Structure 1
């Protein structure tokens, strides 16, 4: 997928900024994000612009492309005090414990990882044609569902199909997620699964071009997934009259203890002060508020803690 010309221009400006002479009062940060085609890369660019604007040019953020959160965490080994990156908290925990994909790759630097602030979560969204009359998971039986390929949403969607006893009862359509909206409109599928921030562009497109509904989970279903509960408010998508209960994978912006407290404080403070402006740029920032602080399962950076205590955000003892 190609990025919009405007976004490419911003990215190029950020790269050029990295080669410009450093002013004495500038804070220069490297923000390791995601693939350039992803919404999380776009979020990184938006954060970079917000930091520059909110600090009157004193905070300069260079956004780097990444192949994923595992790479972001691994690079902690070789990066310095200016390194900021995105990751689900579970990956940071696995790195610190030397488990799963980090088995045999442990490093003491992983223990130095500290959180700054949350960004939009990866939110599971089961989008169904209204004609399919599917409002619950049991009603998926006999339907055609597009999961996509290779993404978190595809893996998680397949997990839920098995978890809720639907394996062999749902026809899984093996095509790219980029074809989901047209396939839904043409009646080739009954629904598709996507994971990302909300409102998700492909769900917005689907809801605007045809009649759709999202599957809402009950409490027991959410519990079975062992994921974080998420509510997509009524009115997020065209024709959505009720809140949708689903699951999510939190995503947090991290740095390490190498970053000084004042820099961490300024980054955190500027992010929250600019968030309202960022909502005007992209609606996915609407879902970021102090209620997401509970999703940070590791320790916060002392500089971030200073800001949160100033504004009265909830801080748990194990986050300090």
Structure 2
């Protein structure tokens, strides 16, 4: 009996020592975000600070990228430990959808949390005369970087509205900041952006010139199909000069890790995320949409074991 008891104590001590060593050993956390004028980047910077302060011996960095598709491909080859991505892109990566930019299934991906929703935000200069999706025909529009999450969203929205790139007068594949700069210069009529509410690029454009928000009606969202896309509202007053609610499509964002990240580190990343939501909201108001009770709803890939451990402790999993 004494030997069995002692053996149990030794095993427990070994497990504790292993977990402590896993956290105490130098840990590199590279966070993959998006363009510097979007929402992913400031939230990534805030998470980087939280992890550097809260995870023993952690060194953190933030990388600006073309967002979802690039991030998920980099995670697959362990070129990052945490990434922001759109839910539909995560699902495409897991399947290995070549048309979406994934040559093979990205089977090393593991979910940390479902976070805030992205809103498809289509803005046009008032001078363009664009007020509806149909009026994008023959116009000059930017749809995000090629095969980025935003560009994949643009394809889905336009197809559901009965439009293709060929129906547009000119298609540019530019990130947030360049797109709004070209609108301000009169070289583009509109841009489609997929981001959290209050994104800096659109906010700055609205401050500098009159713009029009183009609605995406509920019936168009329904035509897209798939649970990743839901109807939503950009509330009146989100941007200067926006006096009415705007119907649009929303897509959930997911924080994603990968299999080479230890359970101990993934647990701490998840825990620190939900313990510091107010601090994240100071970095960008989109973080106010993050809810613990919704964190595991509809995830298109398996949870990381470290995140799963946190959710069991939080009572979301049994």
**TM-score of the superposition, structure 2-length normalised?**
0.70
1:45 aligns with 2:45: yes
- Can you give the 5+ residue segments of structure 1 that lack an aligned partner in the other structure? 1-21
Q: 2:161 aligns with which of 164, 173, 191?
A: 164
1:209 Cα offset (Å): 1.9
Q: 2:311 aligns with which of 298, 308, 311?
A: 308
Does the Cα contact within 8 Å between 1:198 and 1:287 map onto a contact in 2? no
Tell me how large the CA RMSD over aligned residues is. 3.9
Q: How does 1:167-206 map to 2 (within 5 A)?
A: 170-172=168-170, 174=172, 176=174, 178=177, 180-181=179-180, 183-185=182-184, 189-206=188-205
- Can you give the 5+ residue segments of structure 2 that lack an aligned partner in the other structure? 1-20
Does the Cα contact within 8 Å between 1:116 and 1:253 map onto a contact in 2? yes
**TM-score of the superposition, structure 1-length normalised?**
0.69
Q: Which residue pairs with 2:12 in the alignment?
A: none
Does the Cα contact within 8 Å between 1:145 and 1:193 map onto a contact in 2? no
1:191 Cα offset (Å): 2.9
Q: Which residue pairs with 2:207 in the alignment?
A: 208
Matched residues, number: 287
Q: Which residue pairs with 1:287 in the alignment?
A: 289
Change (3 A) 1:203 1:59: same
State how far apart, in whole Å, the 1-side matches of 2:170 and 2:252 are. 27
Q: How does 1:1-320 map to 2 (within 5 A)?
A: 25=24, 28-34=27-33, 37=36, 39=38, 40-53=40-53, 55=54, 59-64=58-63, 69-70=68-69, 72-74=71-73, 79=78, 83-100=81-98, 101-103=101-103, 105=104, 110=107, 113-130=109-126, 134-138=130-134, 140=135, 144-148=139-143, 150-151=145-146, 152=148, 153-154=150-151, 156-157=153-154, 159-166=156-163, 170-172=168-170, 174=172, 176=174, 178=177, 180-181=179-180, 183-185=182-184, 189-226=188-225, 227-229=228-230, 230-290=232-292, 291=294, 293-311=296-314
1:222 Cα offset (Å): 0.7
Change (3 A) 1:23 1:98: closer
1:255 Cα offset (Å): 2.5
Q: Which residue pairs with 1:5 in the alignment?
A: none
SS at match of 1:126: strand
State how far apart, in whole Å, the 2-side matches of 1:207 and 1:114 are. 38
